[in-house]
Amino acid sequence: MWYLHVAATAVWLLASQAAAQGVGNSEVHPKLSTEKCTLKGGCVKQDTSIVLDASFHGLRHVNGTDKCGGYGGALSKQLCPDHESCARNCVFDGADYEGSGVSANGSSLTLNMYMQRNGNTTSVSPRVYLLDAEENDYEMLYLKNAEISFDVDVSKLVCGMNGAMYLAEMNKTGARSALNPAGAQYGTGYCDAQCPKLPFIDGVANIAAKGACCNEMDLWEANALASSFTAHPCGHPGVFQCTGDQCESLGVCDKSGCAYNTWRLGNTTYYGPNKAATSDSAASEFTIDTTRPFTVTTQFLTSYNPSPIWKGMLNEVRRLYVQDGVVYENSPVTAPDMPPGDSLRMSHCQAGAAVFEELGGLTTSGAAMDRGQVLVFSIWNDDRQFMNWLDAGKAGPCTYEEGNPEVIRKNSPGTSVTFSNIRWGEIGSTYSNGTKTK
């Protein structure tokens, strides 16, 4: 899950960062409360917060306003000729959360795709990460044999938009070091399975233009018309710096991954916006009505492994929905070219994701969960593929042109997504047990 925002680095020493003039505007992290849950004790509130990706923090010369580069262009050859010089010469400014389309209130987070600046509708496309209660490091999630639930409002996400929530095997500290003392507090250290080539990688200047690869689990990629959850395994633990063919589609990560999209898998009436009949169109009624908020639960299971050798290894990713107090099982596969089932399993992935199996599949994804992953939230659109892979053709009801960002900007400048009530814990502890549908 990646789009073109770039990362940045920081000051020379953490102590000097706190005392010197190098950091201009201080960083104030919006609070976003989350919950950890158990079957016996229920859910307990956590005073977590969020931080914008490093690319949203101004990067400038320590003694002035000269830009260090890296934002949509090359790093300054004068200020950043090497790792040490870049860290010594360049400092962060605090981010503007409201101006970047980010609004947090209690347990609710809203991300806006566009903001008005000087009378113009400007794309901001924010990406934020969950910080721990101390706001020094990223909150690490360990979700194997566990589940995560959240409420989501996708009603303002039109064709071509993607309101995403996912896990990435980023470094807990944001790769904090002597060359990057700011670390997670300033949103450094991003990576994903697309191996993005960012100006900074693992906290230092990316002089050699390497890709930042890591295991990724897309819990939620969706708009009001289509949704998907996807496992993206990578062949190396943690953040791997790829070069050449390692960064490509047959490289160290499965960029396409193994996905579950109910529309693509044969059910075109399960997920979408309910509409009353009009003189111009017939009524539409979906199992999950995306004109209203609903709960999404994702479970990561190791049960029913075929052999003791596989005990404890991830072998299934299961999805549930809750709306109006009713728990809905995931829509089963009806596509004739796919094996039956209603979850991500290796049989499902083997049928359509060859690279996935070569990289270890769900076993590799489960190992990344054992090591811990960072929770990421984003909103974006795609000026190359128009998000057709998510919601057009066999993937959904949208036309191939509706996802053009210029069309979205003109017709839907208020497009946004809201995530709320994020909680994780033991299987069965994070969602209300209503009446299950058959």
Query: Which sequence positions are flagged as catalytic?
Result: 216, 221
Q: How many CA atoms lie within 13 A of 161 on its CB side?
A: 29
Q: What six digits make up the tokens of 320?
A: 């549930």
| Spatial CA neighbour of 98 closest among 81, 110, 86, 85 | 110
Report yes or no: 387 and 381 within 8 Å, Cβ to Cβ.
yes
CB atoms within 10 A of CB 101: 22
Instruction: Please name every residue paired with 326 in a beta bridge, in sequence order, or none if there are none.
Output: 323, 435
Give, as one character, the DSSP assignment of residue 66: -
What is the DSSP code string of 298-327? EEEE-TT-SSGGGTTS--EEEEEEEETTEE
Q: What six digits make up the tokens of 401?
A: 């042109």
Residue type, 434: G
CA 161 vs. chain centroid, Å, equals 14
Report yes or no: 140 and 376 within 8 Å, Cβ to Cβ.
no
Instruction: Please name every residue paired with 323 in a beta bridge, in sequence order, or none if there are none.
Output: 326
Torsional sign, CA 147, 236, 387, 75: positive
- What is the distance between the alpha carbons of residues 390 and 402, in angstroms, rounded to a whole number? 12
